[in-house]
Structures are given as C-alpha cells and as structure tokens.
Amino acid sequence: MNAKRAIGSAIVGLAAPLLALSFAGTGVATAASISSTIAAVDSCSWQISSVPVSLPMTPTIAGSKFDGNKLDVSGSISGLTIGLAGTATPETAIQGLSSECSFYNAIKNAKIDLELFETDTFQASYVDADGVTQSDNGYLMKISDSNPLNFIITGGSESCEAQLGMFRGSPVGLTGLVPTPSNPAATGMVGTVGWTDWVAGRYVAGEAPRCTATYTFSMYMPEVGSGASLEGYGFSYTFTGPQVSFVLSQN
C-alpha cells in the first residue's frame, strides 16, 4: 500500500509538466474563411433581327402595269424577328435559340416603332432609251393621310400575339415624318408594332419569347391627272421613297 502511494506520487510529479503543456491557456482555435464563387445569369435583352436595307414595293396584283389609274403597290419583309436573349449572345434571340437570361426583377418590355425619315415623297425616275436615268418631278407620289404607308403584320407564331402583344392582323398607317437633323420641323405619326406584356423574370436557353412575322407595307400610286403627269410613258419607273426605321425600345 505504501509502495502504491510512492508510485502515485512519482507519476503526478512527472505528469504535471505535460498537463501544463496540453491544457495551458484556453486551448486552441482555428479560423476558416467563408467564401463562394457564383455565376450570375446573363441579363435579358430584347433583340430584333436585321432589317433589310431596302423594301421594294411592286404592284400588289402581280403583272399589273401603271396605266394612269390608281395602282396598289406593296412589299413585304418576311422573317423579321423580335426575340429575347442574354446580352452576351444576342444573336441567339434571332436564331430561335435564345440564351439563358434574367431580368433581375427589373422586367423590361419591348416595343417596335416604325418611323419615317427624311421625306414623305417618292422621287420618280426612269431610264430613257439612251440608258440615262431621268428624274420625273411631274408625278407626285406622297405619303399622306389619304394615302398612308400602311403596314400589317401577318403570319408568325402564336407568341407574336399571345406573348408579345403584336398588332397582328390590324393594319397601321404611317402618315408622317419623324424629325431628323436634316428635317427638324417634321412631325408625324409613328407606327407602333406593340408592347410586350407577358414577360417573366428568367428564361432558360431556348425558351424565351420570340416572334417571327411578315411585315407587309402598302400604299397606292395616285392616278394621273389633276396636275400629275408622267414623262416616261413606256419606260420602267422607280420610285424612291422615305426610309422606314424599326426602332426597338425597352423599358
């Protein structure tokens, strides 16, 4: 029994320094920084496909010739697309693919205004027998309230109407000019295609709203008479008119 006590004392005597090392102070502490790397979805943007550089109008009734009487002319832009995609890959909106995007709760609607620029009058010209282009200022073909440049949207997917609120099937007439630097005094009506009114916050790739339709423009050539006449009977005429601009806005 005494021996046990002696041994016990020896152990305590040796162990005390170890204990002091192991449990001194308040122990140990470790620190871990908290971080994360997250990808943010691209922001949504409305896109419009490239508008053709020219819009040739021809007699609405194919093969008709102008004989001095009123003649309807028209021309179409097919495949013009309004679509939604991420800003980093805007072309996908036009290609029917779209890309993943989000409005980040700042939903933007889109509309397209069609605006006439520079002139509301068509300049008539013809190529004479000598092959020389001749201007014919005696015939006036002008956009006006009585002869507006009408456009109508036809065809296209259901989303054009159901999702994008297009004025599909309802003709809209352009009758005036939009002021420009070269024509600041111009005032007139702007044709609006329509506002989007059904847009959620986020779209996965390929599922964003998209509308492809045909835009048909029409007006008529006024009859000859009442001060209007043509010089180049028998020749082919070209009427060069205003510029029509498709203006996409988002808000």
Q: Which is nearer to other proteins, 202 or 243 (CB)?
A: 202
Residue 150, strand partner residues: 173, 218
Residue type, 14: L
Euclidean distance between CA atoms 60 and 57, whole angstroms? 8
Whose tokens are 């697309």? That residue is: 81
Using CB under 8 A, list all residues that contact other proteins.
Answer: 3, 6-7, 10-12, 14-16, 18-19, 21-23, 26-43, 86-88, 100-106, 201-202
| CA angle (240, 241, 246) in 5-degree steps | 130
Residue type, 79: G
* Minimum CB–partner distance for residue 212 and other proteins (Å): 25
* Minimum CB–partner distance for residue 9 and other proteins (Å): 12
* Minimum CB–partner distance for residue 158 and other proteins (Å): 26
Q: Which is nearer to other proteins, 100 or 115 (CB)?
A: 100
Residue 123, strand partner residues: 240
* Minimum CB–partner distance for residue 84 and other proteins (Å): 14
* Minimum CB–partner distance for residue 209 and other proteins (Å): 17
Q: Which is nearer to other proteins, 203 or 215 (CB)?
A: 203
DSSP per position, 61-80: STT----SS-EEEEEEEEEE
For residues 113 and 191, the answer to whether their CB atoms sit within 8 Å is yes
